[in-house]
Amino acid sequence: MPVFYGTDIASRLMLGTAQYPSPAVLAEAFRRSGAGIATVSVRREAGGGQQGQDFWSLIDSLGVTLLPNTAGCHSVREAVTTAQMARELFGTNWIKLEVIGHADTLQPDPFGLVEAARILTGEGFHVFPYCTEDLVLCDRLVTAGCQVLMPWGAPIGTGLGLNNIYGLRSLRAHFPDVPLVIDAGLGLPSQAAQAMELGFDAVLLNTAVARAGDPAAMAEAFAGAVAAGALAHGADPMPPRDMAAPSTPVLGKAFLA
């Protein structure tokens, strides 16, 4: 199982807490998924009002590790301020860092992301940066103090899966000792299994579960896919080949004269 900033995580599946049709459905999805981490936006918490208190009580009842995020932040200052608020609100140094640079694709701003990561790690935060699979960007984030990387599979909420297999495979090879989490873009359990087969340590998703016709069933399906993909990667799968190879040995085969 993955280890993030010295903390053992009970599951390779991480779930977001937004967009569910009801609190009861959210709770059941987490129960059936066995997810080890829940991400939550500070905006969802809604400060100290009754709605915010009810939401916090629900999340606390899930019994999972909390990862606050800076969702929706478009500048370094906004992201840093939101992270500081999250630490006061939730009592954790963990922060999923988002600095959005493009409104249509929600692609992270690489320059702002590195700057914000450097500031926050300097303030004692354990930063989980939402990033692309760019090797140079990821190297800068590690240099800035990030001990976990969270590259996207595809733009948030699209369900397109892993758009750049070559880039993700290269990232895994380039950072063999850094925990890597596929964050965003997954729509089907098969895509999560594919990420795990590539050697990634975990996946984080929200929309694919929350917007499914049966969120709890979909959460359970993703849990099974993640476990299967991780098991397959650990089993050292056969490499692909261009030519067919018989699975039945020729030795002992009958030959007709």
In a domain, 214, yes or no: yes
Task: Supply the CATH number for residue 91's domain.
Answer: 3.20.20.70
Contacts of residue 190, Cβ cutoff 8 Å, sequence gap at least 6: 225
- Domain range for residue 199? 3-235
pLDDT (tens digit, 9 = 90+) per residue, 47-76? 555 556 677 788 888 888 999 999 989 999
Residue 248 lies in a domain: no
The answer to whether residue 247 is domain-embedded is: no
Each residue of 97-117: pLDDT tens digit? 999 999 888 899 999 999 999
Whether residue 241 lies inside any domain: the answer is no
Residue 111 lies in a domain: yes
pLDDT more than 70, % of the chain? 92
Q: Dump pLDDT digits (tens) for 202-250.
A: 999 999 999 999 999 999 999 999 999 999 999 998 888 888 887 777 6
pLDDT score, position 245: 81
List the binding residues for 1-deoxy-D-xylulose 5-phosphate: 157, 184-185, 206-207
Report the domain count for the chain: 1
Task: Please report whether residue 155 resides in a domain.
Answer: yes
Separation between Cα atoms, residue 82 and residue 86, nearest integer Å: 6
Indicate which residues carry an active-site annotation: 96
Query: Is residue 166 one of the residues assigned to a domain?
Result: yes
Smallest CA-to-CA distance from 150 within 189, 117, 187, 104 is with 117
Q: For the chain, percent helix, then strand, then coil, each to nearest 5? A: 40, 15, 40
Q: Which residues pair with 37 in a beta bridge?
A: 14, 65
pTM attached to this predicted model: 0.88
Write out the binding residues. Answer: 157, 184-185, 206-207
243 assigned to some structural domain: no
